[in-house]
A and B are shown apart, each in its own frame.
Chain A
Amino acid sequence: MDVYVCVGSSCHLRGSHEIIQIFQQKVKDGGLEDKVNLNASFCLGHCMGGVAVKVGDKYLENVSPENAAQMFDEHIAALVE
């Protein structure tokens, strides 16, 4: 599963960096290194609903450092386990 976290200007200011860190920790904790391929991406074109995260072909919107862990469990971990 390819996961892209948007690091465009608007998303960057809303906390892309922290979200990447939370996701990286989540991947490590869950032992998902083989299943989740974590990437950064420039603008994903969902600026109004940032931070945007692309999971496979789908887009997650309004991901924030506060809900990142929960979003990861529900929308990423759930798909690969």
Chain B
Amino acid sequence: MELFLESGYVSLNKYGEELCGDRVEAIYHDDSMTLVLADGLGSGVKANILSTLTSKIICTMMAQGMPIEDCVQTIAGSLPVCNVRKIAYSTFTILNVDKQGNAYMVQFDNPNMIVLRDGKNLEYEMNTRTIEGKKIHESYLKAQKGDIFIMMSDGTIHAGIGTILNFGWQWENIRDYIVEHYEFSMSAKTVAATIAQACQDLYMDKPGDDTTVAVMRIREWQQVNIMVGPPVNPEDDEPIVKEFLGNPGKKIVCGGTTSSIVSKYLGVPMTTELNYVDTGVPPIGHMQGIDLVTEGVVTLGRVLDICKQAVSESNTDTMLYDKRDGATLITKMLFEEATHVKFYVGRAINPAHQNPDLPIDLSIKLRLVEEIQEKLEKMGKIVNVKFY
């Protein structure tokens, strides 16, 4: 069975710094994904340059199938040498997983990677090698569906040092914390945000070091299909709805006219809730055979707002998903459940939406979908858009 690899990360900048000295790079190649977290020496511009070079070089070389020795030699040979400390230095953690679940981990001087299986800590063996005078720890393991790999920079284990905690938030504490807060449905980004938020709290909102958590989650292929807007040509209603419903996975229908077309095709009634959970988002509807029915453009506008907030790398808000309005429900399905998203976008234009008196521009459906697609792709999802 083919696995899907999802990644997400959160970075907190050292208090007062514009740039983060930690860097996360992800690259897909030959059916596998490589995720690299590099932490440059010091902070600010210098650290940022060191970690950017390190992560980019490793990602590119690993993707070409070069052995780790070559990567480390290249980094050691090409990083600029720090004037103060007379060394070129950036720690790194590399994780490479292919779609058959073969995981290869390389760790150098970052806190050890935490691996969760079924929500519990998984111990793994490490072989130590010395390359260019650096002690490199290598591990191989067979990943399974549901496994979560957590990579961290040392900002995490130093959280709270000298203020709230004497010795910082130690590795064991972080491991226990995430085991305790683990839920099966958590996306990679949510896992990263959960740990980063705890660090942020321990630092009392003033991180003493760049703090980064990067997560890869191994999951099964799951498609979510969204139909937005009716076809330009009403004769296409039936074939399009038929194709849409024929897709595997969950189905979301957005828009009044669109949902009535689907309701007619399925021969089942549609009901609309009267309760507004959020006054800015119209209430949702219900239809047998469809997982979620919502209003169209206003709801999608809010979905895009949530997407923008969620892809921001400093965002640690996991409370996002607690609401029950149409837009939050769509976002939750797209972020937490979907690995593949298929949009069916109708280009029919509602004449009422061309009305200049309305407070917002409603004729923006196509652009909304485009922007949502871009954000979802940033999260590593495979997005398909079909216009009709």
Would you list which residues of chain B between 239 and 297 have a CB under 8 Å from chain A?
Answer: 255-257, 259-260, 270-274, 276, 279, 282-283, 285, 293, 295-297
A48 to B360, CA, bound (A): 15
Q: What chain B residues lie within 8 Å of A7 (beta carbons)?
A: 272, 282-283, 295
In contact, A39 and B270 (Cβ under 8 angstroms): no
Q: What chain B residues lie within 8 Å of A8 (beta carbons)?
A: 256, 282, 295-296
A40 to B295, CA, bound (A): 12
Give, as a whole number of angstroms, the nearest-CB distance from A51 to chain B: 11
In contact, A9 and B272 (Cβ under 8 angstroms): no
Q: What chain B residues lie within 8 Å of A10 (beta carbons)?
A: 350, 352-353, 355, 358, 362
Answer yes or no: A65 CB below 8 A from chain B CBs. no
A18 to B259, CA, bound (A): 24
Interface of A is mostly: mixed
A13 to B364, CA, bound (A): 15
Total residue contacts A-B, CB cutoff 8 A = 72
Partner among A13, A39, A43 whose Cβ is within 8 Å of the Cβ of B256: A43
Could you tell me how many residues of chain B have their Cβ less than 8 Å away from some Cβ of chain A?
29
In contact, A47 and B259 (Cβ under 8 angstroms): no
Answer yes or no: B133 CB below 8 A from chain A CBs. no
What bracket does the count of chain A residues touching chain B fall in? 20 to 34
Q: What chain A residues lie within 8 Å of B279 (beta carbons)?
A: 17
Given A20-B276, A39-B274; A13-B359 close (CB under 8 Å) = yes
Answer yes or no: A38 CB below 8 A from chain B CBs. yes
Given A10-B350, A47-B353, A48-B352; A42-B362 close (CB under 8 Å) = no
Answer yes or no: B298 CB below 8 A from chain A CBs. yes
Binary interface profile of A, 5-19, with partner B (CB < 8 Å = 1, else 0)?
001111011101100
In contact, B298 and A9 (Cβ under 8 angstroms): yes
Answer yes or no: B356 CB below 8 A from chain A CBs. no
Q: Considering residues A10, A13, A39, A42, which has the most beta carbons from chain B within 10 angstroms of its beta carbon?
A: A42
Q: Which residue of A lies closest to B271 (CB)?
A: A39
Partner among B259, B260, B295, B355 whose Cβ is within 8 Å of the Cβ of A12: B295
Give, as a whole number of angstroms, the nearest-CB distance from A68 to chain B: 15
In contact, B352 and A12 (Cβ under 8 angstroms): no
Q: Which residue of B lies closest to A20 (CB)?
A: B274
Q: Considering residues B272, B298, B355, B359, which has the most beta carbons from chain A within 10 angstroms of its beta carbon?
A: B272
User: Which residues in A have some Cβ–Cβ distance to B below 8 Å?
Assistant: 7-10, 12-14, 16-17, 20, 38-45, 47-48, 50
A selection of 18 A-B contacts at a CB cut-off of 8 Å is A8-B295, A9-B282, A9-B297, A9-B362, A10-B358, A12-B282, A17-B276, A40-B274, A40-B283, A42-B256, A42-B260, A42-B285, A43-B255, A43-B256, A47-B351, A48-B351, A48-B352, A50-B352
User: Which residues in B have some Cβ–Cβ distance to A below 8 Å?
Assistant: 255-257, 259-260, 270-274, 276, 279, 282-283, 285, 293, 295-298, 350-353, 355, 358-360, 362
6 smallest beta-carbon distances between A and B, as pairs: A47-B352, A43-B256, A42-B256, A40-B272, A8-B256, A7-B282
